[in-house]
């Protein structure tokens, strides 16, 4: 683990922009000590329709040890069309190498073959050969421009893309069900049996899905993926003077540049970085000798923009938020795509089933798992003033005077007004100060306190105060005042002047996926149509003993269903299993 620590120290002292340039041999040596990564994705099906979710489990693996990677804290999943366009992109948080999400397939995506890609920023230093990729077919029944018969050339080209018979390992983990045949809406008991003791301990993905006559490609199994290990790079090939993508070891990397108005770099300038919203994030950074700044986003956030501005009011800067260079996908190969008349009936049935399922979506909701505890005050206990509990006053300044007896406007030595929060001398033994407060409106940092004196107080829902002392760069602050408006939209009209508002995409939230039950306590589902072809989706299950039990229910669909297990033991061995059963009327 020593080399992980060294690399963090190195980057904390380095300039950042879209890619970092290796400065000398010492830096190169440290970088090469950090293993590269590889990614495997287990997902719900290689054929998807508009209105469906492509759910996935993301495994990030250390390319040296072949065990789960603790290097990157963020993963990326993309869907690319045959023209090399990124039609869908997501980022997900990784916990010890594991992450999950889902891609919603909209009606705007035409029928065709796509590539599902999975990677980390650190992997992009090798390029496409290091990136996970598998073939996905989208069938959009609302368009008929792809209906044609296959040609002989299609058949030959398609054969080159067909995967061999999936590998299976039944010696490590077994799948056991009670019977081979079941009825509609019947409960099925599933047991995972571990035959290898500690050698079978690991993390696996389980899905139960109806076998589709429309399947074009066999999904890449974990065991097939394991066969590609020898072809993957274990360390970066770059040399001194080359550019590299930095690993996101401490969270999502946010970076950019700040320049003076004459175009020169803004050197050693403290910046305030905020992501507005109900669960806002407040961060600080100082530019380096080239005007570059960066910070890591570790906590969960929901906002879709970031505000970056200088800490000091008198600073006038041109600030730009950076973005990583896109992955080069020009060398992706796509098989031919066609739909013929023999597929029409199956496409129609699945389309109807999807529409019915979507009609009852609110009765079968997924839930968002609880993320980080929202604590903008770093452990401080705020005093909260709900303004509807008091007489309303027209302006923010009047509200402070009439309602908040521990905060108000003061005048500094230059004659400018600022907000000060009174110190808590009863709890803390500290010297008197006249420091200003950190003031936020809907998570936006307010540099000029005087500018909000006349802010319409009727828009304010609450004011929260913390009376602890804080420090940003070399500037001291007395307390935090967090103002929350009813609409939570202060950032919309906020004029950053010398700062910048830039869009940002939050990582996908972790979901707990709905599991249909038909026990007595679930009688409300008795008359609800059930056309699920995905009966069970468990992105990650951890085996720590000799067995693990699950249960799920069949739907109103009949035919052959398959149980899939994919994943890796804690020692890095890939495991893939498949077992089928029949559902009849």
261 part of a folded domain = no
- The confidence score (pLDDT) of residue 348 equals 85
Split at pLDDT 50, 70, 90, the class of 5 is very low
More confident residue, 244 or 381: 244
229 part of a folded domain = yes
4 part of a folded domain = no
14 part of a folded domain = no
157 lies in the same domain as 54: yes
472 lies in the same domain as 540: no
458 lies in the same domain as 562: no
Distances (CA, A) of 147 to 107, 136, 354: 17, 18, 21
For the question of whether the overall pTM of this predicted structure is more than 0.85, the answer is yes
Last residue of a domain, one of 433, 468, 486: 486
102 lies in the same domain as 209: yes
450 lies in the same domain as 544: no
CB-based contacts of 127: which residues, under 8 Å, 6+ apart?
A: 327, 328
**Residue 457 contacts residue 395 (beta carbons within 8 Å):** yes
The rounded mean pLDDT for the chain is 87
Find the mean pLDDT for residues 224-233: 92
pLDDT of 460 above 90? yes
User: What is the Cα Rg of the chain in Å?
Assistant: 28
558 part of a folded domain = yes
310 part of a folded domain = no
209 lies in the same domain as 83: yes
Distance CA 176, CA 387 (A): 60
552 lies in the same domain as 459: no
Q: Can you state the angle between helices 2-12 and 25-33, rounded to 10 degrees?
A: 130
Q: How many domains does the chain have?
A: 2
CATH number at residue 105: 2.60.40.1930
Q: Which residue from 41, 39, 61, 210 is spatially nearest to 136, judged by alpha carbons?
A: 41
133 lies in the same domain as 218: yes
- Pairing between β-strand 181-183 and β-strand 574-584 as defined by DSSP bridges: parallel
476 lies in the same domain as 552: no
Split at pLDDT 50, 70, 90, the class of 47 is very high
pLDDT of 2 above 50? no
471 lies in the same domain as 564: no
471 lies in the same domain as 536: no
Distance CA 244, CA 20 (A): 5
- The confidence score (pLDDT) of residue 431 equals 79
pLDDT of 157 above 60? no
55 lies in the same domain as 184: yes
Distance CA 540, CA 192 (A): 13
144 part of a folded domain = yes
Distance CA 382, CA 433 (A): 20
Find the mean pLDDT for residues 297-323: 88
CATH number at residue 441: 2.170.130.10
Range of the domain at 470: 383-486
pLDDT of 314 above 80? no
481 part of a folded domain = yes
């Amino acid at each position: 683990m020593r080399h992980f620590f060294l690399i963090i120290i190195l980057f904390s002292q380095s300039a950042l922009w879209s890619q970092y340039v290796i400065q000398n041999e010492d830096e190169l040596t440290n970088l090469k000590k950090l293993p590269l990564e590889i990614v495997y994705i287990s997902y719900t099906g290689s054929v998807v329709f508009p209105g469906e979710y492509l759910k996935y489990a993301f495994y990030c693996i250390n390319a040296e040890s072949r065990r789960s990677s603790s290097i990157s804290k963020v993963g990326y999943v993309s869907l690319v069309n045959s023209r090399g366009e990124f039609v869908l992109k997501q980022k997900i948080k990784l916990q010890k190498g594991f992450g999950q999400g889902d891609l919603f397939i909209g009606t705007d995506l035409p029928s065709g073959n796509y590539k599902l890609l999975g990677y980390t920023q650190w992997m992009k230093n090798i390029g496409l050969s290091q990136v996970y990729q598998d073939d996905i077919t989208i069938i959009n029944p609302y368009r008929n421009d792809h209906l044609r018969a296959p040609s002989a050339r299609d058949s030959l080209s398609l054969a080159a893309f067909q995967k061999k018979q999936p590998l299976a390992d039944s010696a490590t983990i077994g799948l056991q069900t009670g019977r081979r045949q079941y009825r509609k809406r019947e409960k099925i008991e599933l047991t995972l049996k571990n035959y290898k003791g500690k050698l079978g301990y690991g993390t696996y993905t389980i899905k139960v899905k109806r076998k589709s006559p429309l399947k074009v490609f066999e999904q890449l199994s974990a065991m097939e993926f394991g066969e590609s290990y020898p072809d993957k790079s274990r360390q970066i090939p770059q040399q001194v003077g080359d550019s590299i993508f930095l690993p996101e070891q401490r969270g999502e990397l946010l970076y950019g540049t700040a320049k003076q108005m004459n175009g020169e770099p803004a050197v050693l300038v403290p910046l305030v970085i905020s992501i507005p919203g109900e669960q806002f994030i407040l961060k600080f950074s100082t530019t380096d000798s080239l005007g570059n700044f960066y910070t890591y986003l570790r906590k969960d956030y929901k906002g879709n923009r970031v505000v970056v501005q200088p800490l000091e009011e008198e600073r006038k800067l041109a600030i730009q938020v950076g973005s990583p260079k896109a992955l080069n996908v020009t060398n992706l190969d796509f098989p031919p795509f066609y739909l013929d008349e023999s597929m029409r009936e199956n496409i129609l049935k699945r389309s109807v089933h999807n529409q019915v399922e979507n009609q009852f979506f609110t009765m079968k909701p997924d839930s968002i798992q609880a993320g980080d505890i929202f604590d903008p005050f770093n452990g401080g206990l705020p005093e909260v003033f709900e303004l509807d509990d008091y007489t309303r006053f027209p302006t923010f300044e009047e509200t402070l005077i009439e309602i908040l007896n521990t905060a108000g406007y003061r005048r500094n030595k230059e004659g400018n007004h600022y907000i000060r929060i009174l110190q808590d001398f009863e709890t803390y033994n500290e010297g008197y100060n006249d420091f200003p407060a950190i003031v936020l409106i809907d998570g936006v940092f307010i540099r000029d306190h005087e500018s909000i004196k006349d802010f319409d107080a009727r828009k304010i829902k609450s004011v929260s105060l913390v009376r602890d002392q804080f420090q940003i760069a070399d500037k001291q602050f007395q307390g935090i005042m967090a103002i929350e408006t009813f609409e939570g939209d202060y950032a919309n009209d906020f004029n950053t002047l010398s700062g910048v508002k830039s869009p940002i995409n939050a990582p996908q939230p972790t979901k707990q996926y709905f599991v249909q039950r038909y026990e007595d306590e679930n009688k409300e589902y008795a008359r609800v149509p059930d056309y699920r072809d995905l009966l069970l989706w468990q992105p990650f299950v951890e085996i720590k003993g000799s067995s693990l039990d699950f249960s799920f229910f069949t739907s109103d669909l009949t035919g052959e269903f398959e149980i899939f297990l994919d994943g890796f033991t804690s020692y890095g061995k890939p495991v893939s299993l498949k077992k089928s059963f029949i559902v009849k009327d």
